[in-house]
A = this chain, B = another copy of it.
Amino acid sequence: MPKQVTLSEVATRAGVHVATVSRALNPATRSIVNEKTARRVEAAAKELGYVPNIMARSLRTQSTMTVGVIIPDLTNPIFPPMIRGIENYLAPRGYTALLSDSDGKAALERSAVTSLSERRVDGFIIATGLEQHPLLPTLFESGVPVVLANRGAGEVPYPLVTGNDEAGIQAAVSHLKELGHRDVVHVAGPQSFSTSRIRAETMVRACEVAGMRCRVVEATALTADEGEKVTDTLLAEKQNFTAIQASTDLLALGVLRSLRRHGMRCPEEMSVIGFNDMPFAEEFSPGLTTVRVPLEDIGTESARQLMRSLSEGSSSPIVVTLPVSLIVRASTGQAPRAGVSTQP
C-alpha cells in the first residue's frame, strides 16, 4: 500500500485544522465551513492528489456502505446479469458490491462469508443455492441482513427473490402438450438445490394433470457436461419419450450435445426445453426453447430487498416471485408420430 496523502497533509497545505478539511471535503458538512476556506481546502486536496481513506472513515463511522454478493460460479452466464442488476441498484445509493465467487464449493463459500464479514459488509446477497447451508444460521445470529437470490436456502427466515419456477414449468408442459408430446423426461439438477427440487416436483405434478407421462432423472451438477452424461445413459436405455425438459439451460445444452452425437435430430425426433434463458441460449443449435427468467430483475430486486432490511433494521422471510415467460425457439416441435424416438 503506497503511502497516500492524508487529511492532515491537506490541512497543513491549506493552513487549517484537519477537522476543517474533513468538513470542507464532506458534501454534507461543506456548508458549515467558510466558503473561501473550503475553496482553499479543495485546491490543496486537488494539488496533493488527496484520496480519502475509506477504511479509516468506515472505522470511525461504523458503516462501510458495502454489500457482499456471493455467487457460486461467475462463469455461469446467468450470474453476470444478476450482478449487473444488483450494482445498478446499489451504485446510485452509494453502496458498493463486494463480489465473491465461491466456485460452488462449500469450503470456499465459508471463506467467502468470513472474508466479507471481516470487511464488515452491511449485508449479504447470496445466490448460492445450497440448502442446509451451514453458514446461514451463524450469519443469522450475527444479525447481518441477508437476502437470498434465485435459490432458497432452507430454514433461515431471509427474504428470497426468485423467478416463478412453477409457472415456468407449467408453461413448458403446456407447450409440450400442445405439440402432442405425451412421454417426457425431466432432467433435474441436484435435489439439494431448492430450485431444482421445485422444478422437478412441479414438472411431475403438471404432467400428471396434463395426462402426460414424466420421468425424472437427476444430474449431479448444473453443467452442460452433466446434462450430456445423463442424456447419454437415457438414450442408451431406449425408452419411449419425445421431449426433454431440463432444469437449467446449461443442462439443456448438454442434452442438445448428446442428441447430436447420437445423430438424433432436434426437434424432429426429440424436443428440448431449458430453463433460465441464459445469454446465448438463442445461439445453441437449434436455438433453445426455454423459460425466460428475469435475471437482471432478480438482482435489482434482491438489492432493493436488502436496502429495505438495512433501513428497517429487520427482515422477514418474504418471498418475491418474479414473472417468467416461455420463449419458443427451434428446439421444440411437433411430437413424432410413433413416439418411439429411441427405437428406430
Contact = CB atoms under 8 A, between A and B. Distances in A.
Interface in A140-178: 141-144
A49 to B, nearest CB: 7
A80 B84 contact: no
Max count, chain B CB within 10 A of own CB: residue among A1, A84, A117, A284: A1
A319 B254 CA distance: 38
B1 A62 contact: yes
Contacts of A56: 59
A8 interface: no
A249 to B, nearest CB: 11
Interface string A1-40: 1111000000000000000000000000000000000000
A192 interface: no
A119 B55 contact: yes
Given A51-B114, A118-B52, A284-B285, A74 B80 contact: yes
Nearest to A117: B51
19 contacts: A1-B64, A1-B120, A2-B142, A49-B138, A53-B120, A55-B59, A56-B59, A74-B80, A75-B77, A75-B81, A87-B101, A99-B99, A256-B283, A280-B283, A283-B283, A283-B285, A285-B285, A285-B286, A285-B287
A313 to B, nearest CB: 9
Interface string A57-73: 01100111000000000
A115 interface: yes
Interface of A: 1-4, 49, 51-56, 58-59, 62-64, 74-75, 77, 80-81, 83-84, 87, 96, 98-99, 101, 114-115, 117-120, 122, 138, 141-144, 253, 256, 279-280, 283-287
A292 to B, nearest CB: 16
Copies of this chain? 2
B75 A118 contact: no
Max count, chain B CB within 10 A of own CB: residue among A75, A84, A141: A75
A307 to B, nearest CB: 14
Nearest to A256: B283
Given A1-B122, A83-B101, A99-B99, 14 more contacts: A1-B58, A2-B144, A51-B117, A54-B119, A54-B120, A55-B59, A74-B74, A74-B84, A75-B80, A77-B280, A84-B101, A253-B283, A283-B285, A285-B285
Contact of A120 (B4, B98, B119): B4
Contacts of A118: 51-54
Contacts of A286: 285
A115 B283 CA distance: 37
Contacts of A74: 74, 80, 83-84
